[in-house]
Amino acid sequence: MSFLQQIQARFRPDSCSSCRCPMEMVKKQLYAMPGMSVGHFAPMEDAGYFKKALVPVAKKADIPTGIYACGIQHYRCPRCGRTVTKLTTFLPVRDQEMVEQILYFKKGEMDDFP
């Protein structure tokens, strides 16, 4: 895979990096991260951390003020079954989202996470 293809694969989770097939979003869920408050953000990359730290919420208004939130989108390739989980960490500020971190889990690390 060329460097350019790697970059494209990294930033376009909606197409499968194996067969280029458009991936389907199978599930998405919003979470609060009570352990991460404003002014104390630390970038995390460990799937295990998120599995322990995240608390599912129904809507953004349910996230306490000053607490970071996390959106998770599960993608699946309809052709080869490859999965990618996109995890976006952000701070909800009024009607905006201040995005801190975007992670892609491509080895099934988050497949068992609801």
Residue ranges in contact with Zn ion by CB under 5 A: 16, 18-19, 21, 77, 79-80, 82
State the minimum distance, in angstroms, from the CB of residue 105 to Zn ion: 16
Reference 21, options 65, 84, 70, 108; nearest CA is 84
When the beta carbons of 75 and 90 are compared against Zn ion, the nearer one is 75
When the beta carbons of 80 and 98 are compared against Zn ion, the nearer one is 80
Helix (H) / strand (E) containing 33 = strand 24-37
When the beta carbons of 14 and 46 are compared against Zn ion, the nearer one is 14
Q: Which residues are CB-contacts of 88 (< 8 A; sequence separation ≥ 6)?
A: 70, 71, 72, 73, 99, 101, 102, 103
State the minimum distance, in angstroms, from the CB of residue 23 to Zn ion: 7
